[in-house]
Structure 1
Amino acid sequence: MHPLSGQIFATCGVEFAAVYVPSDDIDELRLAEVAGDSRGRYDLPPAYALSGRSAVADACRAGRPLWLTSEELAPDGTAGPVSLGALPLGGDPLLLGCLLVVRKDGDGFDADQRAFLELYADQAAAGLEAAAARIAPPVDTGSPGPALLPLRGGTFALTLRTGRMDVDGQVLHLLGVAPADFDGHVTTLLECAVPDDVPALMSIVEPDRAAGPRQLAFRVRRPGGELRWLGLRCRVLPAADGRPERVLGVVGDASYLRPTPDEVSLVQRLSAALAGATTIRDVSRVVVESLRAPLAASRVAVAELEGDRLVVTLLDPPDPDAWPGVWRSEWRSEWPDASCHTLPTLEGALREGHVALWPPGTPLEPGLAGIGPGGLAVLPLPAEGRMVGVCLVGWDGEHRFGPEERSLLTATAGLVGQALTRAHALNAGHELATMLQRSLLPRKLPQLHGGEAVARYLPATVGLEVGGDWYDVIPLADGHVALVIGDVQGHSAGAATIMGQMRTAIRAYAVEGHPPDVVVAHANRLLVGMETDLFATCCYVDLDMEEGLAWIVRAGHLPPLLRLPDGTTEAIEVEGGPPLGVMADAEFPLTEAGLAPGALIALLTDGLVESASLTLEDGMRAVCRVLRGADPADPGRVADELVAGTRRRDDDVAVLLLRYDGTRVRPLRARWAVWRLPDAVMHARRFTARTLRAWGVTEEVDVALLVVSELVTNAVAHTQGEVRLDLTLTADRLRVAVNDASPRAPVKSAGMDWEATGGRGLLLVEAMSTAWGSVPLGGGKQVWCEVALSPRERSGGGRRDE
């Protein structure tokens, strides 16, 4: 039994404390250590069953502290004047144990005392984890047990507005400050810290810090020259107006963080290498080279944090197959770009802001478990009081973390976070242009009926400016899809901006329903009219996914490559027009090509096939050679193989691939020109009923006739010119579309007067269909809705146009 020398317990009025840790089979918590005098006050059981009813078990199951007064412990007063607190150590997914504290009276713990004890429990959990003391045998409370409770610690309270600090004697002893020399101001204690650690401490005591928990490890130099590691855990408390007002904290000995000479040398080498890293890529490369070999790690990833997304800057190994499926699914550029929300454990570690170590067998989501099945370390990268990124280190074989390793990783995280921030400051223009370019590219490609599209984008590695390569996949009406790839002249933020404008313009013209040559001609006139000297090349492919027919327009760009099902690969001969932005009246001829199921069509930019050391002809032959030997069953792997050899790049690289499968069940279509007669709606309903009977649709006829009535009525009543009704039947839904000559989009009423004679049409359409909307068309618009069909055997004829 340890005496209560810790000022933490004295501050909180705790008479004694006990630590319980899991048993071998983790079905109960066994008493491992007692501090203070428990005789005659509270009967400490040797173990608590985790499935039983007790304060310890209830707190561990709930994952949060449980506070009980004497009345709550025993309403009949048999418990005597005693208050109890049960604080879980660790938690999901790894429970380290539970801290039980008992107070001398029965009035309970006030808010400050609870905050101090919760911080102390966090400190005890870190010590348990670092000492690998998760499983321990029960000990006799009458004999000394293992030192699980960090008794050498104390508390402090800081008023942010004035900088005044109330500390107990144990904190001053740890810092090496005599009580007579302490003037009660926080700056006096900050002077004790090693200069390199002062910025991290200042980030906690700054008045504008947001409220919440904070923790860090820091070093102090005692009067005799001794270097001591201390652990700080604190909580920032807000005032009534929500602004930070006070900091309550616990300071304890953290000698287990003291690094070995080898680790000190590694950190020194890392610091020296990061000092010369001027770009994000350089910082990431230094981290990987410094950590993977010394730690014998299987995988290392470095990622920046941009909003709620992780933007990976380097992976080692770079092979996509070495990483979990969730990472591969986000592999649209040189490295993945994933949402933090898909990795909740990682999101929690970033929110807490300290190094997290997960041993083998820890239940993690697949996106993390696959990185380190033998052990995983997550290093949030702090800088300037916030998290700027994360470093993941994973092992395939079983890896047990020692306390020295935590020290190394903690020191590494701080150095890397500062280096990332410094690199951003040195290359602010480049980083802004890179982020702009990445945000303008499609985050995900759409799922297509009858094929699969994948894309890869790699920025140039030579020089700091970014280019204007772009790609897009645009689903169109009637089973068509547009594939677009382009390249804006030059490397600058201006090129990236023009790229975004051209991608948006081409998408808008395509969705309006213009044919490919008109889409490209409109984009050309738009660029000519802009106040820029830049031009752009572009290749546009309109592919009918049902028929396998492609209409191709080329504006100064490389022709598409076509891999046939038998492996034959060649460039499609496409008559080309000039680049966009050169001549306002340029013509862009159409070229037709046919695709058989199993064919692979590839669009690419010149950065893949041409460089200072590679001629265009040799580059095209190399790409054709890769396509001939590739397996089209996995377009993503084919794209990876195409860009695998482009490690040093003079120009950006963009690749867009589509594997054409064809549609197994071809949609049925019918069209009706609506005459502007008094009984136009009746004729439209009759046409719809005849068509649905021919197609074998019976159960949904009434719903279809209702939406046809409403959409045709709106078009005839509120527009002028031609009105057309289109019906499309797929395996599971019926699409009803009405085209008219008015560009004005329909407006659904915000409120409804049910005594009115009109205004309910769109409300009825919305209520009766699974989806509805409006899209602009050349010279008008289309209002459409979809009706879900019940499972059935579809009968009837083939395609029909009237």
Structure 2
Amino acid sequence: MVSQGAAEPAPRRPRAELALAALADDLDPRARLHAILEQVLVFTEVTFAAVYTPDDEGELLSLTASAGVPANLYGLLDSYPTAGATSLAEVARTGRPVWRGSADLVQDADARRSVVGEFSVGVLPLGERGCLLAVSDDLDGFAAEDRRCLDLFARAIARAAPAPPLGPGASFDLAMDTGQVEVDDQVLDLFGIGPDDFEGRVETLLAMTVPEDLPALMSVVEADHMSIGDRELEFRIRRPSGEQKWLRLRGRMVPGGEDRPTRLVGTVADASTLRTGRGDVARVQRLAAALATAGTVRDVSQAVVAALRKPLQADRIALAELEGDRLVVTVLDPPQPEAWPEVWRTEWRSEWPDAPVRTMPTLATALREGRAAIWPADADLEPALAEVGPGGLAVLPLPAGGRMAGACLIGWDSPHDFGPEERALLTAAAGLAGQALMRAHAFDAEHELVGMLQRTLLPRRLPQLPGAVAVARYLPTTAGLEVGGDWYDVIPLPDNHVAFVIGDVQGHNAGAATLMGQMRTALRAYAVEGHPPDVVVAHANRLLVDMETDLFATCCYVDVDMEEGLAWYVRAGHIPPVLRHPDGTAEITESDGGPPLGVLRQADFPMAPLRLAPGALLALTTDGLVESADLDVEDGLDQLASGLSAADPAHLGVVADTLLGGANRDDDVALLLVRYDGMALRPRRESWTVWRVPQAVAQARRYTRRVLRAWGIRDEADAVLLAVSELVTNALVHTDGRVRLDLTLLHDRLRVAVADNSPRTPIKPANIGWQATGGRGVLLVEAMSSAWGTVPASGGKQVWAEIPVG
């Protein structure tokens, strides 16, 4: 089911016949049987295929070979009695195929082992060899084309000679209940162990496995994580001499009884001479084993990337879920934004990118048709896809339960040739990944609810900053359905100031999340009023005390002057910021902090200074990243500082992801990184305190005229002076207290701002009669400027107007 470009595919049965004819004549019977079962997955919509053969007494049908997703997910058993009422027993007795639902195979509680939904079953006779069992997640049953292909494969299996026993030589016999294993001298020789040094424990052999291959191997030797039937897996070991060796394990589960344990018996061989290429059965089963233990959608995505990118020598892989009309990418490899097309970068968000399907018609067609497509080098594709794989692109829709769960994109930079084995691997991997995504969704449902609630309370996007770049990450805890109280915020303020906030509300429940949203809103409101950091935090503390809640919160608030690189920060029971200097050294800042918010009504929150040089990196985080049951907060902060010191500040997103790689998932984590670059063009500023004297407006005009002359502004001087006159007059007439005039020039815009102590905002009159004596000032300011408005300023307000200048 792989197409070249947009060409119509040939009928599947003729292509299946060609694939069967292409099987090598020198394949041993067992390898031939596995190859046929793998082709069942490639040329049909089947997700699991198995052969059941009768025992010597003819009383049981036992599974002897299988391919596809782990069969225990469908509740299938190792053996079925031939006298039973199942479809397998009926086909063995009558010799006629049956096409039914799943109920007859999992009809009792013992048989129903973690079944994922309903499915369709097809059973075809193999003569004296038993039955071919095929499973599909399509609840409507098997299409006519699938039935014809399955009949073809059943005939091919029936013609094949019986699979030989696993045989002597390099053999093992593992007791599943005790872990004791009996091995011959050839196995010990492969592992490089002397007979006198082996005490018969399977843990001794497992300890020699390369760590990256251990999870897949454990899924084979642990009964709780195995698919039934034959086991086949390639893995690496490191011998005592330091030599690394590839081994292939072939095994078969022997069910136990009352007096004997369940055993795994099989052989181990040197795989360096046995590996047949990228599309062999062992590699597909290796992927299936990895997906069997993948719990979340991200785990599934990472397993697919790990299984495909290196074997296929691909330059990039993206795995994405289909949500409505958008493709939400869960894993990008490599993760750097510059490695991906421009349309992907323009949709980049603080956590994951979104790629709209409508911008990629080729991908939309593949998803609609549910057919994998392979595009050679220099194919005429839309830029969003052509740049993913200029040397070749594979688009794999991921089917699951009769719908498309998502897509996998695999791209090469250099011209790539797609061989038959590689095509089989791509198609089989797509089916396995689609089913794994469906299972992971069931596991992720509760955590998605938590994440959705959390995301609604956090900023969707971080603002563009003058002279700095910021990224944020949030990881919810994986410990059950718990909503955390961690938050972050970035608040642009007047005069090129920016406030960065990180906080944590006590507890993990809906109350903590609600309070988190209230505290974030309160801090933002107090900040935009123009208060200094200590006043902002003190106001938030009094608000939390007045709420009469049993919860408290910690936070760190940093106000950065982007023009000068000077920052002031306040800690309220929170861990300190970590600062990475441009030379790569990192330090944990030291300052006196106040108590957590909501504990004491009258509390002091002292401010501490920070000097940021261009290239400095500031990290604000919550304790979930630096503290756990096994890690003290001081050691965690030291590790964070070391991670920052070794990081490349040019790629903040990669730095954030790296720092979160070892995060404690028993607690939620918020992380805010800020790289201070400095402003390339700093504004020119002048200020004047307006005294309440009869000549106040005239003095403000004379001061403004001198400033404009010094700045070389002449043509627009009259418009600026008129705006100054009206704004200063309004402030003197309608307010009391101090009045301040601020002039700011940046690029080709002059900003006139007048601050006073009244919070009342001037109102633009709807209409003015000819006898009216007031109200024209706002209209004149609007006429002279390109924009005007008001902002809070330390209990009062600031009325501003921007005037373009040449």
Measured against the shorter chain, the TM-score band is 0.5 to 0.7
Letter aligned with residue 221 of structure 1: R
Q: How does 1:160-175 map to 2 (within 5 A)?
A: none
Answer yes or no: is the 8 Å Cα contact 1:343–1:368 preserved in 2.
no
Structure 2 unaligned regions, length at least 5: 16-119, 124-133, 155-276
Whole-Å separation in 1 of the counterparts to 2:528 and 2:658: 32
Superimposed CA distance per residue, residues 227-262 of structure 1 (whole angstroms, 9 cap, x where no aligned partner): 89xxxxxxxxxxxxxxxxxxxxxxxxxxxxxxx996
State the partner residue of 1:696: 712
Among candidates 498, 517, 525, match of residue 508 of structure 1: 525
Deviation at 1:431, TM superposition (A): 0.7
Answer yes or no: is the 8 Å Cα contact 2:5–2:374 preserved in 1.
no
Deviation at 1:762, TM superposition (A): 5.7
**Correspondence 1:196 to 2:212:** no
Q: How does 1:58-97 map to 2 (within 5 A)?
A: none
TM-score between the two structures when normalised by the length of structure 2: 0.58
Answer yes or no: is the 8 Å Cα contact 1:332–1:456 preserved in 2.
no
Whole-Å separation in 2 of the counterparts to 1:760 and 1:448: 36
Answer yes or no: is the 8 Å Cα contact 1:752–1:759 preserved in 2.
no
State the partner residue of 1:534: 551
State the partner residue of 2:462: 445
* SS of residue in 1 equivalent to 2:610: strand
Superimposed CA distance per residue, residues 489-547 of structure 1 (whole angstroms, 9 cap, x where no aligned partner): 33445444433332232222111111101111222233334465332221111122233
Answer yes or no: is the 8 Å Cα contact 1:489–1:534 preserved in 2.
yes
State the partner residue of 2:607: 590
Whole-Å separation in 2 of the counterparts to 1:364 and 1:512: 51
Whole-Å separation in 1 of the counterparts to 2:385 and 2:785: 40
TM-score between the two structures when normalised by the length of structure 1: 0.59
State the partner residue of 1:606: 623
Whole-Å separation in 1 of the counterparts to 2:428 and 2:584: 53
* SS of residue in 2 equivalent to 1:577: coil
Whole-Å separation in 2 of the counterparts to 1:588 and 1:770: 41
Answer yes or no: is the 8 Å Cα contact 1:735–1:786 preserved in 2.
yes
Answer yes or no: is the 8 Å Cα contact 1:433–1:496 preserved in 2.
no
Whole-Å separation in 2 of the counterparts to 1:727 and 1:315: 48
Q: 1:765 to 1:640 in 2, by over 3 A?
A: farther
**Correspondence 1:737 to 2:663:** no
Q: How does 1:348-387 map to 2 (within 5 A)?
A: 348=364, 352=368, 354=370, 355-362=372-379, 368-381=385-398
Superimposed CA distance per residue, residues 16-45 of structure 1 (whole angstroms, 9 cap, x where no aligned partner): xxxxxxxxxxxxxxxxxxxxxxxxxxxxxx
Deviation at 1:577, TM superposition (A): 1.0
Identity %: 63
Q: 1:388 to 1:689 in 2, by over 3 A?
A: farther
Q: 1:290 to 1:479 in 2, by over 3 A?
A: closer
State the partner residue of 1:669: 685
Deviation at 1:690, TM superposition (A): 3.0
Answer yes or no: is the 8 Å Cα contact 2:649–2:655 preserved in 1.
yes
Whole-Å separation in 2 of the counterparts to 1:702 and 1:348: 59
Deviation at 1:664, TM superposition (A): 5.2
Among candidates 555, 567, 574, match of residue 550 of structure 1: 567
Superimposed CA distance per residue, residues 78-113 of structure 1 (whole angstroms, 9 cap, x where no aligned partner): xxxxxxxxxxxx9xxx996xxxxxxxxxxxxxxxxx
State the partner residue of 1:281: 298
* SS of residue in 2 equivalent to 1:474: strand
Q: 1:712 to 1:618 in 2, by over 3 A?
A: same
State the partner residue of 2:503: 486
* SS of residue in 2 equivalent to 1:377: strand
Whole-Å separation in 2 of the counterparts to 1:129 and 1:510: 66
Greater shift, 674-683 or 474-483, is seen at 674-683
Q: 1:398 to 1:647 in 2, by over 3 A?
A: farther
Whole-Å separation in 2 of the counterparts to 1:130 and 1:707: 82
**Correspondence 1:221 to 2:147:** yes
Whole-Å separation in 2 of the counterparts to 1:781 and 1:322: 47
State the partner residue of 1:657: 673
Whole-Å separation in 2 of the counterparts to 1:730 and 1:603: 31
Letter aligned with residue 798 of structure 2: Q
Whole-Å separation in 1 of the counterparts to 2:284 and 2:769: 74
State the partner residue of 2:186: none
Answer yes or no: is the 8 Å Cα contact 1:340–1:346 preserved in 2.
no
Among candidates 782, 786, 790, match of residue 798 of structure 2: 782
State the partner residue of 1:173: none
Q: How does 1:760-771 map to 2 (within 5 A)?
A: 769-771=785-787
Letter aligned with residue 531 of structure 2: H
Deviation at 1:225, TM superposition (A): 4.7
* SS of residue in 1 equivalent to 2:718: helix
Superimposed CA distance per residue, residues 118-148 of structure 1 (whole angstroms, 9 cap, x where no aligned partner): xxxxxx645699999xxxxxxxxxxxxxxxx
Letter aligned with residue 628 of structure 2: S
Letter aligned with residue 296 of structure 2: T
Deviation at 1:588, TM superposition (A): 1.1
Deviation at 1:299, TM superposition (A): 3.2
Q: 1:561 to 1:328 in 2, by over 3 A?
A: farther
Letter aligned with residue 536 of structure 2: V
Q: 1:289 to 1:723 in 2, by over 3 A?
A: same
Deviation at 1:763, TM superposition (A): 6.4
Deviation at 1:267, TM superposition (A): 7.7
Q: How does 1:245-284 map to 2 (within 5 A)?
A: 278-284=295-301
Deviation at 1:398, TM superposition (A): 2.7
Whole-Å separation in 2 of the counterparts to 1:413 and 1:747: 62
State the partner residue of 1:468: 485
Q: 1:725 to 1:311 in 2, by over 3 A?
A: farther
Whole-Å separation in 2 of the counterparts to 1:768 and 1:465: 55
Superimposed CA distance per residue, residues 160-198 of structure 1 (whole angstroms, 9 cap, x where no aligned partner): xxxxxxxxxxxxxxxxxxxxxxxxxxxxxx999998364
Whole-Å separation in 1 of the counterparts to 2:306 and 2:582: 42
Structure 1 unaligned regions, length at least 5: 1-89, 97-123, 133-189, 203-216, 229-259, 791-802
Q: How does 1:337-416 map to 2 (within 5 A)?
A: 337-340=353-356, 344=360, 348=364, 352=368, 354=370, 355-362=372-379, 368-381=385-398, 389-400=406-417, 416=433
Give the number of aligned pairs: 566
Q: 1:784 to 1:294 in 2, by over 3 A?
A: same
State the partner residue of 2:632: 615
* SS of residue in 2 equivalent to 1:453: strand
Q: 1:220 to 1:667 in 2, by over 3 A?
A: closer
Whole-Å separation in 2 of the counterparts to 1:307 and 1:776: 41
Whole-Å separation in 2 of the counterparts to 1:267 and 1:597: 50
Superimposed CA distance per residue, residues 319-346 of structure 1 (whole angstroms, 9 cap, x where no aligned partner): 777656776787766x633353896557
Deviation at 1:698, TM superposition (A): 1.9
Letter aligned with residue 594 of structure 1: R
Q: 1:273 to 1:497 in 2, by over 3 A?
A: farther
* SS of residue in 2 equivalent to 1:522: helix
